[in-house]
A and B are shown apart, each in its own frame.
Chain A
Amino acid sequence: MAMGMPYGLQAMLKEGHKHFSGVEEAVMKNIEACKALAQMTKTSLGPNGMNKMVINHLEKLFVTSDASTIVTEMDVYHPAAKLLVMAAKAQAGEVGDATNLVLTLAGELLGNAEVLLRDGLHTSEIAEGYQRASDKALSVLESLVLPGTDTLDVKDKAAVALRLRGAISSKQLGYEDLLAPLIAEACIDVVPSNPHNFNVDNVRIVKIMGGALPDSQVVKGMVLKRDAEGSVKCVENAKVVVYAQGVDTSGPETKGTVLIKSAEELEGYSRSEEEKLEQYVKAIADSGAKVIVSGGAIGEMAMHFIEKYGLLALRIPSKFDMRRFCRATGAVAIVKLQAPQPDELGFAKQIEVREVGGANCVVLQQDASLGSVATLVLRGSTEGFLDDVERAVDDGINAYKALCRDARCVPAGGASEIEMARQVADFGKKQTGLDQYAIARFAEALEVVPRTIAENSGLQASEVLARLYAAHAQGQVNAGVCIESGAPKDLAAEGIMDVYAAKWWAVRLATDAVVTVLKVDQIIMAKQAGGPKPRAGDGDDD
């Protein structure tokens, strides 16, 4: 109790608070937690990375090797490890790829920091050394940019597919030849004249169970996983009218009551109601529109008239889908039920209902010149597999976006890391201060990438590293790990490259997170807030 003899901070805080301070208690513990996290994601790095089965707090099952999914669904609680997770999320937000690199590199850097701490270095010296080493590494990385990659015709399908292979192959090895061209095709369809403004939202992914991945295809336009409302299932070269609200009789905001005094009036009322609605639908049909899209419900009576005039009716409840649909057709969403102006009408080359994998889908097909939405229809045997492919495709689309902004590429397969490590180590040897040890360790940490790639491929990591270093010393700066033979190989020649921006951010964010973790020397934890327990111990929540 508080009236006792307080001594130290612990006694002054509210009950349930935890307080850690000093190198042993705070820094070392933090490092340990971060290492544990990195250990877990490390095995998922690279093309031969292992999958993880993660069950999140909603009991949803994920089978993936995508680090950002793993750490998001794992619900990391430890504060220091959380810093790494946040760094990974920032990476996902900035480039959408190479999240695993952030975690693995950060974990390795912290592991090495632990060794340095045990050797008696001060945390601030390590932090400073790491910071300088990372600046050096980034400047080395810039020099590694493969010549000729700084310009890229983002409309050239083959060239784009080649660049995307790296991002895909690290997630879905073996499918990169299949997926990369698909993604490239979809992206090229929607890329605006100024590639800088490429919007990832314009490439949609629809997952339909059944078939196999090779059955996947790109639809220029949209695919909606729902049926058309009426009996008209297919139209071509049609004008489209889009209503943001529902298509039904309109009511006033104020409460309205129908005042009826006799049976005739009742009949008359219904009739007037019908006439009014028919008038609207007729006006729509007269305007030339063949397709009515509604954001809300379509009333039964409205449906009747829509059928009568042979229109195709479609309901899109999601506001975002609605906006995309408008973008794809060039229609303007009308807020009131009224006859559309000619400039409010959109155009669809073809809208039809197709049966794909047992489900009816509305497929909107556009010419390449029209519209700005493309959809990737992914086919696969299980939901889990499709989810995983979707994440890979997402990464690919993000990589395309990154390419549009900065097309530069660096050698893949650990080649850039080894070269960075080599040059940073040289740089460290020239330093006179205590930070040279930290710089050397930073270089060592960079080796983790080729090492892990080798380990995950079942190769002798030390041997592979030695051969890589030898190759690099001889000036083969593009030599990376060949996952089949383990021999140094210029992967860029085979078209496997990494996006420069992704690497840049990864090194940058990992260093920042590590420096932050190192600089913290006290942790004050409040009592964990109440609320329902995530799961009442059924034994497996550890």
Chain B
Amino acid sequence: MGSVKTLNPNADVMGRHAATFMCVNAAKGLHEVMKTNFGPKGTIKMLVGGAGDIKLTKDGNVLLREMQIQNPTAVMIARTAVAQDDVTGDGTTSIVLLIGEMMKQAERYLQEGSHPRVIVEGFDIAKKALLEFLDDFKTPVDASDREMLRCVSRTSLSTKLAPHLVEQLTDIVTDAVLTIKQPEQPLDLYMVEIMHMRHKLDQDTRLVKGLVLDHGSRHPDMPKRVEDAFILTANISLEYEKAEVNAGFFYSSAEQREALVAAERAYTDERCRRVIELKKQVCGDSGRGFVLINQKGIDPLCLDMLAKEGILALRRAKKRNMERLTLACGGFAINSVEELSPDCLGHAGAVYEHVLGEEKYTFVEDVKHPHSCTILIKGPNDHTIAQIKDAVRDGLRAVKNVIDDKAVVLGAGAFEIAAAAHLRSTVKKQAQGRAKLGVEAFAEALLGFVKVLAENSGYDAQDVLIKLQEEQERGSNVGLDIATGEALDPQVAGIYDNLIVKRQIILSAPVIASQLLLVDEVMRAGINMRGK
């Protein structure tokens, strides 16, 4: 270690023991923070931002993102967790817990003098064996089974929200995914718009089969509600646009100037008139509504023209909403007035505006074949909304995962207990020599989940673990009933986890744990530009 000092006298160096100690401690520290989050009975954390903004969360991913961690080891673990979220959308807390547990178990052997390499070998064997075991253990499901999808989303949501919301959101999330699901096509969760309105209570959150746009018409005389409406999705500019070249007018009388003003408008007005013509053509005197949703701007003069015709026009719609609109209402988006034809129109049963204080929302509802929908989150304050939003996102991912995997894994700790037993009974025997230690450490680490789950629900971790293990030895799949502290059959209780979540955890946790264990020196060189 002296060598680095010779090369760069300003470098910080940590020797072998200090490095291991730091890695293990950082993992344990993170484990300590995250473990109270875990499971349906986990507690809430309050995060206060630099500007005094409040965020409440139970979600490991949100917590890791918002906490500004500086310790290098902790950062590595946090990154793994973020990767976990990217891939699966769930299991962030689990992965941090598993890494923490693995490091804790490894530390025991390290202190007894084992070489980290030995343990790492064991981890590797255990990992391979577990992946095979997981394939046997999983329960294949039919992806169109609504009840099964509900079970999985409920399991995911209940770790993130208060119980009274879970049931309601379970239905919302499941139905949202089923709405946008189209046979033979990969699911695109972006087709579920998540919108929030700050009023009423969190229980008023609902699923809108259609779209909610967060802006309204910009003209006071436009209809506030139209029914049985044609929807024109357009990306045409209805405002005067300056020429790219530096143009100017010369005039010498007021008449000339008036003419110029009129000529300037003519082009824009003409386009607006084309839209109005189409409206007249399709609506006639039938009293049906006509809604123009434009991605580009509409200037006040055009708005006025449209308002006079009773057209509800929205300007500057978001691009992603344009895609969703055509999916929800039918028709297709047009880019120029030449394309205008009755074919490009979509349809919605009701389009109406909802004003909330200063903000306007436009609901496009009762659409015929919704392939896009909106989850409308309500809540009395921002932090409630944020909390629900994060949970909904994870819930959607959970449902999608089931559809993609076509399989689920028993939850409530059942997999972990079975896997630990498998490692001990079969894999450990097959492993040669000292690698057995690593396998044993992995098995013990897996049981950590059950312990934390029991602890958070207010039961004695050891008691519960022994009870469950005994039950498992009798050959059944057991999970923990957090309401009673007794064993339960997750299949009966409908507690299922995503296959991909478990798979990803088993894949990445040992890798990162191994890397951290194999660190034998930490150096910090270079100059901190910001100074001390």
The reply to whether the CB of B350 lies closer than 8 angstroms to some CB of chain A is no
Q: With A3-B524, A256-B251 as known contacts, state yes or no: A528 contacts B357, CB within 8 Å.
A: no
Q: With A7-B25, A524-B45 as known contacts, state yes or no: A2 contacts B72, CB within 8 Å.
A: yes
Q: With A7-B29, A260-B252 as known contacts, state yes or no: A527 contacts B74, CB within 8 Å.
A: no
The reply to whether the CB of A297 lies closer than 8 angstroms to some CB of chain B is no
Residues of A within 8 A of B70 (CB): 2, 12-15
**7 tightest CB-CB pairs across the interface, nearest first?**
A529-B50, A90-B380, A259-B250, A272-B254, A276-B254, A525-B48, A86-B381
B46-95 with Cβ < 8 A to chain A:
46-52, 54, 56, 66-72, 74
A248-279 with Cβ < 8 A to chain B:
249-261, 265, 268-269, 272-273, 275-276
B261→A251 contact, CB < 8 A: yes
Q: Shortest distance in angstroms between A111's beta carbon and chain B's nearest beta carbon? A: 20
The reply to whether the CB of B44 lies closer than 8 angstroms to some CB of chain A is yes
B253→A521 contact, CB < 8 A: no
Q: From A122, A259, A524, give the contact of B67 (CB < 8 A).
A: A524
The reply to whether the CB of B248 lies closer than 8 angstroms to some CB of chain A is yes
A1-48 with Cβ < 8 A to chain B:
1-3, 5-9, 11-15, 17, 26
Q: With A14-B70, A525-B48 as known contacts, state yes or no: A93 contacts B357, CB within 8 Å.
A: yes
Residues of B within 8 A of A1 (CB): 532
Q: Shortest distance in angstroms between B303's beta carbon and chain A's nearest beta carbon? A: 8
Residues of A within 8 A of B52 (CB): 77, 79, 82, 528
Q: Which of A79, A122, A336, A512 has the most CB of B within 10 A?
A: A79
Residues of B within 8 A of A336 (CB): 301
Q: Shortest distance in angstroms between A244's beta carbon and chain B's nearest beta carbon? A: 7
Task: Please list the residues of chain A having a beta carbon within 8 angstroms of any beta carbon in chain B.
Answer: 1-3, 5-9, 11-15, 17, 26, 77, 79-80, 82-83, 86-87, 89-90, 93-94, 122, 124, 244, 249-261, 265, 268-269, 272-273, 275-276, 323, 326, 332-336, 508-509, 512, 516, 519-529
Further pairs besides A80-B46, A93-B357, A249-B257: 17, Cβ < 8 Å = A2-B72, A7-B29, A12-B71, A77-B52, A82-B54, A87-B380, A252-B257, A253-B240, A255-B248, A256-B260, A269-B252, A269-B254, A335-B300, A508-B201, A522-B33, A525-B47, A527-B50
Residues of A within 8 A of B67 (CB): 13, 524
Q: Shortest distance in angstroms between B253's beta carbon and chain A's nearest beta carbon? A: 4
A526→B48 contact, CB < 8 A: yes
Residues of B within 8 A of A7 (CB): 25, 29
Residues of A within 8 A of B383 (CB): 83, 86
B380→A512 contact, CB < 8 A: yes
Residues of A within 8 A of B136 (CB): none
Residues of A within 8 A of B66 (CB): 524
Q: Shortest distance in angstroms between A187's beta carbon and chain B's nearest beta carbon? A: 19
Q: With A521-B36, A524-B48, A526-B50 as known contacts, state yes or no: A9 contacts B29, CB within 8 Å.
A: yes
Please, how many residues of chain B have a CB less than 8 angstroms from a CB on the other chain? 68
Residues of B within 8 A of A13 (CB): 67-70
Residues of B within 8 A of A269 (CB): 252-254
CA distance A254 to B52 in the complex (A): 46
Q: Map CB proximity to A onto B198-237 as digits: 1 under 8 Å, 0 otherwise.
A: 1111000000000000000000110000000000000000
CA distance A93 to B68 in the complex (A): 34
Residues of B within 8 A of A508 (CB): 201
Residues of B within 8 A of A15 (CB): 70
B30→A12 contact, CB < 8 A: yes
B32→A9 contact, CB < 8 A: yes
B381→A252 contact, CB < 8 A: no
CA distance A261 to B25 in the complex (A): 87
Q: Map CB proximity to A onto B452-486 as digits: 1 under 8 Å, 0 otherwise.
A: 00000010000000000000000000000000000
Residues of A within 8 A of B339 (CB): none
Residues of B within 8 A of A519 (CB): 43-44
Residues of A within 8 A of B26 (CB): 6, 12
B251-277 with Cβ < 8 A to chain A:
251-255, 257-258, 260-261, 264
Residues of A within 8 A of B251 (CB): 256-259
Residues of A within 8 A of B220 (CB): 323, 326, 333
Can you give 28 contacting A-B residue pairs, CB < 8 Å? A1-B532, A3-B12, A3-B522, A5-B21, A11-B29, A12-B29, A12-B70, A14-B68, A14-B69, A15-B70, A252-B257, A252-B261, A253-B240, A257-B251, A258-B250, A260-B252, A268-B253, A273-B254, A332-B221, A333-B220, A512-B380, A519-B43, A521-B43, A523-B48, A524-B66, A524-B67, A526-B68, A527-B50
Residues of A within 8 A of B253 (CB): 268-269, 272
Residues of B within 8 A of A2 (CB): 70-72
Residue of B nearest to A265 (CB): B252
Residue of B nearest to A76 (CB): B52
Residue of A nearest to B241 (CB): A253
Q: Which of A90, A273, A332 has the most CB of B within 10 A?
A: A90
Q: Shortest distance in angstroms between B201's beta carbon and chain A's nearest beta carbon? A: 7
A276→B260 contact, CB < 8 A: no
The reply to whether the CB of B304 lies closer than 8 angstroms to some CB of chain A is yes
The reply to whether the CB of B14 lies closer than 8 angstroms to some CB of chain A is yes
The reply to whether the CB of B529 lies closer than 8 angstroms to some CB of chain A is no
Residues of B within 8 A of A521 (CB): 36, 43-45
CA distance A94 to B45 in the complex (A): 27
B18-35 with Cβ < 8 A to chain A:
18, 21-22, 25-26, 29-30, 32-33
Q: With A251-B261, A254-B248, A257-B249 as known contacts, state yes or no: A87 contacts B29, CB within 8 Å.
A: no
CA distance A508 to B379 in the complex (A): 13
A335→B304 contact, CB < 8 A: yes
Q: Which of A252, A523, A528 has the most CB of B within 10 A?
A: A252
Residues of A within 8 A of B7 (CB): none
Residue of B nearest to A255 (CB): B248
Residue of A nearest to B58 (CB): A519
A6→B71 contact, CB < 8 A: yes
CA distance A257 to B247 in the complex (A): 11
Q: From A8, A79, A252, A526, give the contact of B249 (CB < 8 A).
A: A252
Q: Shortest distance in angstroms between A439's beta carbon and chain B's nearest beta carbon? A: 18
Q: Shortest distance in angstroms between A267's beta carbon and chain B's nearest beta carbon? A: 11
CA distance A524 to B30 in the complex (A): 13
CA distance A255 to B249 in the complex (A): 6
Residues of B within 8 A of A93 (CB): 198-199, 357
Q: From A9, A122, A268, A524, give the contact of B47 (CB < 8 A).
A: A524
CA distance A166 to B467 in the complex (A): 61
Q: Shortest distance in angstroms between A18's beta carbon and chain B's nearest beta carbon? A: 8
Residues of A within 8 A of B22 (CB): 5-6
Q: Shortest distance in angstroms between A143's beta carbon and chain B's nearest beta carbon? A: 21
Residue of B nearest to A253 (CB): B240
Residues of B within 8 A of A8 (CB): 29, 32
Residue of B nearest to A80 (CB): B46
CA distance A163 to B463 in the complex (A): 61
Q: Shortest distance in angstroms between B487's beta carbon and chain A's nearest beta carbon? A: 22
Q: With A252-B249, A254-B247 as known contacts, state yes or no: A83 contacts B54, CB within 8 Å.
A: yes
CA distance A1 to B45 in the complex (A): 25
Residue of A nearest to B307 (CB): A332
Residue of B nearest to A250 (CB): B261
CA distance A523 to B33 in the complex (A): 11
Q: Shortest distance in angstroms between A122's beta carbon and chain B's nearest beta carbon? A: 7
Residues of B within 8 A of A3 (CB): 12, 14, 522, 524
Q: Shortest distance in angstroms between A256's beta carbon and chain B's nearest beta carbon? A: 4
B243→A254 contact, CB < 8 A: yes
Q: With A7-B29, A323-B220 as known contacts, state yes or no: A526 contacts B49, CB within 8 Å.
A: yes
Residues of A within 8 A of B33 (CB): 9, 522
Residues of B within 8 A of A255 (CB): 247-249
Residues of B within 8 A of A257 (CB): 248-251
Q: Map CB proximity to A onto B504-523 as digits: 1 under 8 Å, 0 otherwise.
A: 00000000000000000010
